[in-house]
Amino acid sequence: MSSGISILVIDDNKIRASIIEEGLRDAGHDAVILVHQMDGLVRQIADINPDVIVIDLENPNRDQLEHMFQVSRAVQRPIAMFVDKADSQSIEAAVDAGVSAYVVDGLKRERVKPILDMAVSRFNAFSKLSKELEDARTELADRKTIDRAKGILMKSKGLSEQAAYDLLRRTAMNQSRKIIDVAQSLVIASGLLGD
Amino acid sequence: MGQLTPVIAGFIPLLDSAVLVAAKEIGFAEEEGIALKLVRETSWANIRDRVAVGHFDVAHMLAPMPIAATLNLTSLAVPMLAPMVLGLGGNAITVSTALWQNMLDEGADRNGDPASTGTAIANVVAARLKTGGSPLRFGVVHPFSGHAYELRHWLAAAEIDPDKDVEITVLPPQLMADALAARQLDGYCVGEPWNTAAVAAGTGRIVTYKQAIWPDSPEKVLGVTRKWAQASPDVLAALMRGMSKAADWCADLKNVDRLTGILSGPDYLACDPDLCSPALSGNMRFGATTSKTLPDFLSFSGGPAAAPSPAQGKWFYEQMVRWHQATFSAAAEAEVVRIFSPATYQAALNIDRLPSEKSIRLFDMVSL
């Protein structure tokens, strides 16, 4: 089943763009085109003649895009920002998620809203994934730092691994700090003083 | 002092974000009880959207933006105010070195006289149109901007029709110099440091500047929604007091090095400090061999000078009408007067009387 709506997704982030594309295709939109490059965008938009344009808010070219919609002869049909017509909740959800959408005039709101909702939920899912990945990276880095701090204590104080960890933990508790912060201080101090 | 009140401000990394940046970094906001959080943005559209939905309490805005939003000329339009001016001047018009050579052949002044460079570019444009060459392409940062109106005024004063004889497109400021180098643009009007960037790269030449086109004119303003201004009048007043002190600090030449260091840093413009210092110190380089001392090229000032004036707002509105972005109505003009009213700022800073409003005087061709 095809929706008959062509959708242009402008996103520098290729992974996120693919996630949105997949979601839109699953929802029955066959005509989804991804654009990562802003060069020659006017031409591309004229060629593609999309009904809906989805763009990420990090893209510095939004001002150019909006200007193009206002004046360009290349864009055959007037395009307005979708959120103009939406309720304030949709507006906030889109801006919170970091996405904006533009639609040609005359497209019915109920046909477009699911597209924006899809983009918003996929943007949010992507942010969540990115954050989890970032957290995992930090956790790994933290564990390495704690291991180094333990190593320093084991060597300088002749402690066992468990005793070194207990000392770190006790120090952190006594100073109301996190173990990683104590470990970091120790690693830095040790680096400054020489092993 | 009790607990600080948080205020979130959006800004675009340009030199004239200096007042907001100094209010935070030098502690002027904190002295007034404000914990100022600055959020760097990538487009004016984002600034507009995030102010409209309330992500930002206030923002560094192009002076015409609060007018365009209030008059419903853009998306996500909400009623706004421009209670304080963040800087005067600061823009310039830069052309490619190839176009500059053509302009020199037509006798263009090397020191940025707008009447002379305007005449020269008019001759170049006329010759191009006669020989069937493609029209010159210019970039501005936003359709509702001082840049767009200054460029259009300069061209129109030389009898170039900005809508027919040349092409004007929109590009983000930080991409202008690259677009000029790549020959996607023949020239542009932008704030600093993006003119200096092209001059330093050897790909562009400054031909005139905002201060020569409309002396001491506002460029960016503090933009707030009327809703926020009404809900938090004391916070807005405290913020503007801190910003007024910050503006005076920015204006003091002995702070230029420190300001240059802060603004060029990773949280703000993230650029070579050498690109920031010409406009901040007033020692502009127009081209490889021409330097000019212009203390007022970009100026900051607290106190009465940072009060908006209705005449300024009206000039921006006139440009919107002149360039077919808006149709004139007396009701809209009354709104504009309200948006640029100095009353909120005066009350916050306890300024009884402002110097009488000077009439707005732009350069024109006969002033040569």
**Nearest Cβ partner for B170 among A57, A63, A100:** A63
Cβ–Cβ gap B170/A84 under 8 Å: no
Cβ–Cβ gap B53/A68 under 8 Å: no
Query: Which of the residue ranges A1-5, A66-70, A115-119, B255-259 would you say has the lowest mean pLDDT?
Result: A1-5
Cβ–Cβ gap A63/B49 under 8 Å: no
Q: What are phi and psi of A68, to 5 degrees?
A: -60, -40
pLDDT confidence band for B367 (50 / 70 / 90): very low
Distance to chain B for A88, nearest Cα, Å: 8
pLDDT confidence band for A80 (50 / 70 / 90): low
Q: CATH 3.40.190.10: which residues of chain B?
A: 5-87+219-279+300-367, 91-213
**Nearest Cβ partner for A62 among B46, B53, B174:** B46
Task: Find which of B53, B78, B225, B323 to mutate to test the A interface (most A CBs within 10 Å of its CB).
Answer: B53
B232 exposed, middle or buried (CB, 10 Å; 0-12, 13-18, 19+)?
A: middle
Geometric angle at alpha carbon B230, from B226 and B236, rounded to 5°: 90
DSSP label at B261? H
Cβ–Cβ gap B76/A68 under 8 Å: no
Cβ–Cβ gap B42/A84 under 8 Å: no
Res. A2: pLDDT tops 80: no
* A 81-120 residues with CB < 8 A to B: 81, 83-84, 88, 91-92, 95-96, 100
Structural domains in chain A, sorted by start: 7-131 (3.40.190), 134-193 (1.10.10.10)
Cβ–Cβ gap A66/B50 under 8 Å: no
B310 exposed, middle or buried (CB, 10 Å; 0-12, 13-18, 19+)?
A: middle
Given 2.60.120.560, 3.20.20.70, 3.40.190.10, 2.60.420.10, which CATH number is that of B5-87+219-279+300-367? 3.40.190.10
Q: Could you give the ipTM of this predicted complex?
A: 0.87
Average pLDDT over residues A29-36: 89
Most confident of A45-54, A62-71, A138-147: A138-147
> Who wins on pLDDT, B206 or A95?
B206
Distance to chain A for B125, nearest Cα, Å: 22
Per-residue model confidence (pLDDT) at position B205: 98
Tens-place pLDDT, residues B25-84: 999 999 999 999 999 999 999 999 999 999 999 999 999 999 999 999 888 889 999 999
Q: What is the 3-state secondary structure (H, E, C) of A139-166?
A: HHHHHHHHHHHHHHHHHHHCCCHHHHHH
Per-residue model confidence (pLDDT) at position A42: 74
For the whole model, what pTM was predicted? Answer: 0.86
Average pLDDT over residues B210-232: 97
Q: What is the CA radius of gyration of chain A?
A: 26
Chain A residues lying within 8 Å of B175, measured CB to CB = 60
Residue A92, number of CB atoms within 10 A of its CB: 16
Per-residue model confidence (pLDDT) at position A83: 56
Cβ–Cβ gap B55/A95 under 8 Å: yes
Cβ–Cβ gap B43/A67 under 8 Å: no
Per-residue model confidence (pLDDT) at position B368: 43
Res. A52: pLDDT tops 80: yes
Query: Which of the residue ranges A64-68, A165-169, B82-86, B200-204 would you say has the lowest mean pLDDT?
Result: A64-68
Per-residue model confidence (pLDDT) at position B113: 96
Helix (H) or strand (E) holding B82: strand B80-89
Cβ–Cβ gap A100/B45 under 8 Å: yes
What the block records as the tokens of B343 is 């009353």
Max distance between CA atoms of chain B, in angstroms, equals 71
Peptide bond into B193 cis (omega under 30): yes
> Who wins on pLDDT, A195 or B247?
B247
What topology is assigned to B91-213 in CATH?
D-Maltodextrin-Binding Protein; domain 2 (3.40.190)
Per-residue model confidence (pLDDT) at position B355: 84
Chain B residues lying within 8 Å of A71, measured CB to CB = 143
Geometric angle at alpha carbon B269, from B268 and B270, rounded to 5°: 95
Tens-place pLDDT, residues B275-287: 999 999 999 999 9
DSSP label at A51? S
> Who wins on pLDDT, B250 or A70?
B250
Per-residue model confidence (pLDDT) at position B360: 84
Chain B residues lying within 8 Å of A91, measured CB to CB = 52-53, 76
Task: Find which of A65, A67, A69, A92 to mutate to test the B interface (most B CBs within 10 Å of its CB).
Answer: A67
Task: Find which of B8, B46, B178 to mutate to test the A interface (most A CBs within 10 Å of its CB).
Answer: B46
Cβ–Cβ gap A60/B174 under 8 Å: yes
What the block records as the tokens of B254 is 């002995």
List C-alpha distances in Å: A167 to A158, A159, B328. Answer: 12, 9, 75
**Mean per-residue pLDDT over chain B, rounded:** 95
A138 touches chain B (CB under 8 A): no
Quick one: how many helices (H) and strands (E) in chain B? 17, 13
Cβ–Cβ gap A63/B55 under 8 Å: no
Q: How many CB pairs under 8 A join A and B?
A: 62
Chain A residues lying within 8 Å of B170, measured CB to CB = 63-64, 66-68
Query: Measured between alpha carbons, how far is A23 from A118 in angstroms, rounded to an integer?
Result: 7
Task: Find which of A39, A63, A73, A100 to mutate to test the B interface (most B CBs within 10 Å of its CB).
Answer: A63
**Nearest Cβ partner for A67 among B52, B170, B175:** B170
SS3 A38: coil
Please give the residue of chain B at the shortest CA–CA distance from A58. Answer: B42
What the block records as the tokens of A56 is 């990420």
Res. A76: pLDDT tops 80: no
Query: Which of the residue ranges A87-96, B114-123, B305-314 would you say has the lowest mean pLDDT?
Result: A87-96
Percent over 90 (pLDDT), chain B: 92
DSSP label at A103? E
Strand B218-225 relative to strand B58-62: parallel, antiparallel, unpaired? antiparallel
**Nearest Cβ partner for A95 among B50, B74, B142:** B50
Query: Measured between alpha carbons, how far is B97 from B113 in angstroms, rounded to an integer?
Result: 18
Average pLDDT over residues B224-234: 97
Per-residue model confidence (pLDDT) at position A138: 87
Distance to chain A for B49, nearest Cα, Å: 7
**Nearest Cβ partner for A63 among B55, B76, B172:** B172
